[in-house]
Each structure stands twice: as structure tokens, then as C-alpha cells.
Structure 1
Amino acid sequence: MFHWLQTFMTVYEEKNFTHAAEKRFISQPTVSLHIQKLEEITGSELFIRSGRNHAVPTESADLLYVRAKQLDSLWETSLSDIQQLQGNTRITYTIGASQTIGVYMLPLVLPQLQKQFPNYDFVVSIANSTVIFNRVETHEYQVGLVESPMIAPMITRTVFAHDSLVLAGDMTNDLWLLRETGSGIRTYTDQFFQQENIIPAQKMEIASNEAILTMLRQGVGKTLLSDLSVRDFPYEHPPTPIVRPLFQIHNHAFPQDPLQIALHELLIASFS
């Protein structure tokens, strides 16, 4: 059944039976058979087939995908635990961090974390808060650090610090530089626009804090950003102060591990 689930996850991600077969190095009839077996077991249609082997996931498929990814992650964790018992103690541990935390905060505590867990190989992924929530929910990331106040059914959040948002750049410029939808700062920017009755005359959406900062240094545009990232350009505080909590998140279906506890303690000690 595990092979069936792996095939299912590939079809779900590719949205195409042919592409899934190529990626799994199996025949297309085998892909169809694996999906058929899962549909028989679940008693539910998982994909709506359309032309040229295109597969549209159903609501049942959405639920099964999350559970299958969790199972896959648990399998990888089990293999790692077994390797530890056999004396192979290197462990890969993935941390997802949204951009402000990942650039300005996490690097200051990673050296201390590495000292506490010398047998761990850390993989740090920088993404927006929505992506991190999704990947922590499927346990692709063991732990996440986010700036968004969003919630999710499988996620436990704990606050480790706060930051303040400031208005940076040329306030006389009509151009607003915005992060993409799904980022923590975009959520607060949209709320700020509503609160202050602002309708941007011009706007540019950029999925990178560093790119936005580079434009500000050139005197182009204005934006709302964390005071942690303010360096060499003018800024001012918004009419109503905006202080946001920063969260550490994990999937509560998996026990909180010692590294998550240690990371939270280091973040609190460094930034609270």
C-alpha cells in the first residue's frame, strides 16, 4: 500500500498521470491501477480525469494527500531513528522560516543550536508563511518560524518574540512595494491599507525582502516592513503602531522533539 500512496502523492503533485508515471519510473497503467486500488479502499473518487491524462484532485484527495505526506515523513523519521540505533547518528532536520525571521533572526541562534545538536545536519528553507504552514502540516518541515497570524487545524503555535512594522522609503512616492499574497508582511500590509483607507495608486508585488530593500536603497517606492530589516534608508512609524507576534509552529500529530524545545528557548533568550 505504501507504493500506492507514493504513486498517489506524485499524481497529486503533477496533476497528470503520464507525468507521474515518468517521475515514478513505472508504466501509466500501473499508475492507474495504484489509484484505482486506493479509490476502492477509501470508497471515494480521488481524481477527476480530463483530457490528455490530466487529473484534478477531489476533496478526498486533498485530505489523503496531507495524511500521506505525514505518513511518508514518519517513515523517514523511523529510518533515521533506526540508523541511530545502528550507530549512524547523522540526522537531517528541516527548519522552515519566513523571510524576516530567516534572514535576521535564525542565523543568530543556529550556531548555538548546532553546538547543542552536533549530530544534526540542518536544512533551512526560506519561504512565505503560507508555504511554511502547509509544509509543517505535511511534516516536510519538522518546525516552522512564521510571521503570519494564520491558523491551521494540525498546527500548534507558540510566540517567541515580537517585532514592530515601520514605513520605509520615500513617503512622497506613489509606488507601493508589496510582498506576495501568503507572506506574513502582506497580511499586515493589507490590514494597514484598510485601516488607513489607502488605495495604492501604483503597486509592485515582489516575492523577496532583499529585492524590495534594494529598490528602497535606490530611492524607488515605499513599503511596510519589519524594523529588524531597516538599515540605510529613511523610515517612520505608522500612525497606529503595528506590533506583531512571531510564532514557532509544529504539527501536533507528531511529538514535540528536544530540538524544537531548544530552538524555542534560544529564540526567547535572544529576542524576547
Structure 2
Amino acid sequence: MFKFLETFMVVYRTHSFSLAAQQLFITQPTVSNQIKQLEAQLNTELFERKSRRESVPTPAADILYKRSAKILDDWHDINTEITDLQASKKAHVRFGISQTVSRILFARIANQLNQRQPDVHYDVTVSNSEGVLTLLEDYKIDLGIIEKPLVTEHVKRLSIGKDQLVKAGTPTGTWITREAGSGIGYYTEQYFREADIHPIRLIHVNNSGLIRRIVSTGVGQALLSSKDVPENVQVETLGSAFIRDFYLLTRDEDLQVPLLMAITELIKQVTDNLDA
């Protein structure tokens, strides 16, 4: 049943049985069979097959999708609790962080977790800012840390530090930036608008570390955190207009969970002294 729900959620997002099969690394007939079994159990149709490539969710699918993430998260928690009970009874937290956070901030948090919460097990998933938010909404992580100012229902956003963006690299007319959904991509587009910049060539890269390496070779320019600029690279400060926040994301329903409250407080203390 739970595997069927996982398959259903991917089909719902992609509107495609074939794309869902690719993402789940299973065959399309397997996807179709699982959806048919789920429809049989619910005695309703979940998707209207408009064509071989598109499947449109029905109103029943809309209802099921809203509940499925919570059902799967509860099942995950049950499994985790039983596993912890049988093993070491240690707590477990899942973090989702953006790439800039992974490069310049999370190591400090991990250090303090190791010192002050040694019994906590944790996993870390790195994605862009919008990807982290989606993971939180889908109950696949417990806490998110991003730098793009996203707002959504039922998710609390707390500013936990400042970060100065700078223009780094050689002015060749080429700009290197991140993909849509990322913090760097968001602020780069903002900078283009405000400075009326029209790049001769625009290179999109989905990895902040690769942007640093490309910039260091003299290919072009990019917006980077002032804390993440390669050595011997030309830098131009952008001033206070491009001081951005790091944000801690939590679901409203988790605000009173003691472990998450303790880790939230720890993260705030780690980031209180960040230099802008």
C-alpha cells in the first residue's frame, strides 16, 4: 500500500506514467499496475489518461495527494521509532539544505550537533532552495536551511543569519549562474534587472562548487557568497542591497516538538555571529 502511494505521488507530480517510471527506476507497466491496484482499493479513478504521455489527476487524486505525504511520513516515523527502539533508541533528524548552506554554514552546525547533541542521528540532503521547501512539504525532511526568501502555507520561516553577495570573476560578457529554484539564480536575476545587464552568454550550472571553479579559470562572472570566493579572483562588492538572509524552515505542526525546538535553538546560536 505504501509503495503504491509513493508511486501515485510521483505520477501526480509528473502527470506521466512513463516519467514516473523513469524517476522510480521501474517499468511503466509496473507503475500502471500499482495505480490500478490503488484505484481498485479506493473504488475510484485517480487519473484521466488524456494521451500516452499525459495523465491528468482527478478530484479524488487531489484529495489523496494532500493526505499521502502525511501518511507516508507517519509510516516512516513508525519505522524509524521501531528501528531506534530495537537498536540504540537514539533520535533521528533529517536536514535539507541549499548548496551555499552546505558550503559555508552547515559544517559549523554539524560541529555543534556533535558536541551538544551527541545522541542525535541525522541525514542531510542538499538541493536548491525550492527543492528543500518541497522536501519539507512532502515530509521527507524535518528542517530546512535555505537562502531564497520563499513563503508557503504551513511552513514557518526564521531568519538565522546574513550573507553578503559579491560579483566575482573576469568581465568577459559571460555570466555563470545556478538553475531556476536556487538562491543564487534568484539573486542573479535580480541583479541583472537592477543593473540592466544583458549577458553575451549565460551558463547555467546546478552546482555552486562548479561555479567557483569556472569563475576561477577566468571564463566570466558570477554572484557568489563573499565567504565562498576562490583565491585570486577579482571581486566587486554589491553593497547592502545584496545582503541576503539564511532561513530556517520548519512545518507549523512541528514547532512544539522538543528535539526540533532544541536543534532550532542550537542553529540560531551557531549563526548569531555570522559576519554579513
User: TM-score when scaled to structure 2?
Assistant: 0.83
Task: Classify the secondary structure of the residue corresponding to 2:102.
Answer: helix
**Structure 2: how far apart are the matches of 1:113 and 1:98?**
19
- Unaligned runs of at least 5 residues, structure 2: none
Task: Classify the secondary structure of the residue corresponding to 1:241.
Answer: helix
1:103-252 pair list within 5 angstroms: 103-170=103-170, 172-232=171-231, 233-238=233-238, 241-252=241-252
1:48-127 pair list within 5 angstroms: 48-52=48-52, 55-58=55-58, 61=61, 64-85=64-85, 88-127=88-127
**Structure 2: how far apart are the matches of 1:187 and 1:59?**
33
Instruction: Assess, with a 3 A threshold, how the Cα gap between structure 1 residues 119 and 28 changes in structure 2: closer, same or farther.
Output: same
**Structure 2: how far apart are the matches of 1:53 and 1:223?**
38
**Structure 1: how far apart are the matches of 2:37 and 2:271?**
53
**Structure 2: how far apart are the matches of 1:81 and 1:3?**
19
**Structure 2: how far apart are the matches of 1:58 and 1:220?**
49
**Structure 2: how far apart are the matches of 1:28 and 1:194?**
46
- Unaligned runs of at least 5 residues, structure 1: none
Q: By how many angstroms is 1:53 displaced?
A: 8.0
**Structure 1: how far apart are the matches of 2:28 and 2:200?**
49
Amino acid corresponding to residue 17 of structure 2 in structure 1 = N
**Structure 2: how far apart are the matches of 1:7 and 1:214?**
38
Q: Percent identity?
A: 28
Is the Cα contact below 8 Å between 2:17 and 2:31 reproduced in 1? Answer: no
Is the Cα contact below 8 Å between 2:156 and 2:249 reproduced in 1? Answer: yes
Instruction: Assess, with a 3 A threshold, how the Cα gap between structure 1 residues 114 and 64 changes in structure 2: closer, same or farther.
Output: farther
Is the Cα contact below 8 Å between 2:174 and 2:200 reproduced in 1? Answer: yes
Could you list the per-position Cα deviations for residues 23-64 of structure 1 after superposition, in whole angstroms to 9, with x for gaps in the alignment? 799795563141254363xxxx53221445853435763563
Task: Classify the secondary structure of the residue corresponding to 1:212.
Answer: helix
Is the Cα contact below 8 Å between 2:176 and 2:204 reproduced in 1? Answer: yes
Amino acid corresponding to residue 101 of structure 1 in structure 2 = V
Instruction: Assess, with a 3 A threshold, how the Cα gap between structure 1 residues 39 and 235 changes in structure 2: closer, same or farther.
Output: farther
Q: By how many angstroms is 1:152 displaced?
A: 1.1
Could you list the per-position Cα deviations for residues 54-96 of structure 1 after superposition, in whole angstroms to 9, with x for gaps in the alignment? 5343576356324311221122213333455556414442211
Is the Cα contact below 8 Å between 2:163 and 2:244 reproduced in 1? Answer: yes
Could you tell me which residue of structure 1 aligns to residue 42 of structure 2?
A: 38
User: TM-score when scaled to structure 1?
Assistant: 0.84
Is the Cα contact below 8 Å between 1:48 and 1:55 reproduced in 2? Answer: yes
Is the Cα contact below 8 Å between 1:177 and 1:221 reproduced in 2? Answer: yes
**Structure 2: how far apart are the matches of 1:224 and 1:177?**
8
**Structure 2: how far apart are the matches of 1:156 and 1:217?**
37
Instruction: Assess, with a 3 A threshold, how the Cα gap between structure 1 residues 243 and 58 changes in structure 2: closer, same or farther.
Output: farther
Instruction: Assess, with a 3 A threshold, how the Cα gap between structure 1 residues 267 and 91 changes in structure 2: closer, same or farther.
Output: closer
**Structure 2: how far apart are the matches of 1:65 and 1:188?**
32
Could you tell me which residue of structure 2 aligns to residue 16 of structure 1?
A: 17
Instruction: Assess, with a 3 A threshold, how the Cα gap between structure 1 residues 144 and 56 changes in structure 2: closer, same or farther.
Output: same
Task: Classify the secondary structure of the residue corresponding to 2:197.
Answer: coil
